[in-house]
Amino acid sequence: MTDGTFLEGHSTHQYLTLREGLLGGRELPGPDVTALTAESQQFPEAAADALTAQLETHGLGLVQLDDSLSDDRFLALGRLLGTAMPETDPAVQPYVEQRVILNLRSEHNRTGDVALQPFATNYLSLHTEGSGRPPGDQPRYIVLLCHDPGDATSARTVLVPMRAVAAAMDPASLATLSQVRYRHDARLSPIVRYEDGRCVFTFRDFLAQPLEWTSHGDADADTVNDAIADLLRAMYSAESASSVHWRAGLLVVIDNRFFFHGRTAGPAVASPHRRHLRRLRVV
């Protein structure tokens, strides 16, 4: 067993430029999934089967509603998909309703405070949700509902398919990372695992923060760090990356086993017309 730490600058990190290009405002196509349409007063019941079929086929569901959802109907969608996770982080409590609904409002300027960044105009690095949690505590679905898209400068949600990332990586890197996990909890799953023949990642780009890892394989520290850099390069260079251009009433459901997701940067100073998404995480 080997312990180590990944830091930006360990090697020639090509992904740093790729990250800035992808999240700094590069134009991306929309997701290759046709949005369903539904009336908010009839949702989710009227579109349940079609939404489930989208998720099974694509790992992604899109529904354009005629209006935003009431709390009751938003929570009903959570029950349709599974069980909504409580938002327990003390830093986000001012933005939480009904214990499980998180209001993502871009009301702060760009900031180095990690706790405020989901509510600021920073870009958010690509990640899988709950990567620092044991497998049973990670959400299966991330549900995002647009209450207000903001103005033309507002951030967009970026989606990168895991299959494209795996295809872009060196097979030796995948094999190495299948035996590597975050160090802080022995219950965590490895960064790379396989489900039904698909490569599934559990990983967050920690930006400049150190990533402490443990390897249960024979790879030395340099090999593990090179494999992490290869993963980051593949995440940010995926040609199949897409972005969601938010519209009022647009609902997006992301399967956490199919996609990395992140967010482009908004303006340096928060716009008076703020983007507002509502989020559920569902296990």
Per-domain residue ranges of the chain: 2-24+32-85+95-282
- Contacts of residue 275, defined as CB under 8 A and 6 or more positions apart, other chains included, come to 104, 105, 106, 148, 149, 150, 154, 155, 246, 266
Asked whether the beta carbons of 68 and 241 are under 8 A apart, the reply is: no
Which tens digit of pLDDT belongs to each residue from 215-272? 999 999 999 999 999 999 999 997 899 999 999 999 999 999 999 999 998 766 666 7
pLDDT of residue 30: 93
Phi and psi at residue 173, to the nearest 5° = -65, -40
189/201 Cα distance (integer angstroms): 9
H/E run at residue 235: helix 221-237
Q: Out of 3.40.50.720, 3.20.20.210, 3.20.20.70, 3.60.130.10, select the CATH number for domain 2-24+32-85+95-282.
A: 3.60.130.10
Asked whether the beta carbons of 267 and 122 are under 8 A apart, the reply is: no
Q: Which two tokens stand for residue 247?
A: 């519209």
For the CA atoms of 37, 279, 283, 200, the dihedral, rounded to the nearest 10 degrees, stands at 80
CA torsion sign for 64, 68, 69, 74 is positive
Residue identified by tokens 């090179």 is 226
pLDDT of residue 12: 63
Which tens digit of pLDDT belongs to each residue from 43-86? 999 999 999 999 999 999 999 999 999 999 999 999 999 999 99
- Portion of the chain with pLDDT greater than 90, in percent: 76
- Contacts of residue 94, defined as CB under 8 A and 6 or more positions apart, other chains included, come to none
Task: Check whether 162 has a pLDDT greater than 90.
Answer: yes
Angle between helices 221-237 and 15-23 (to 10 degrees): 30
Which tens digit of pLDDT belongs to each residue from 178-201? 999 999 889 999 999 999 899 999
59/261 Cα distance (integer angstroms): 12
- 144-171: string of b/e by CB count within 10 Å (b at 16+)? bbbbbbbeeebbbbbbbbbbbbbebbee
Residue identified by tokens 């009227």 is 46
Q: Which two tokens stand for residue 46?
A: 């009227």
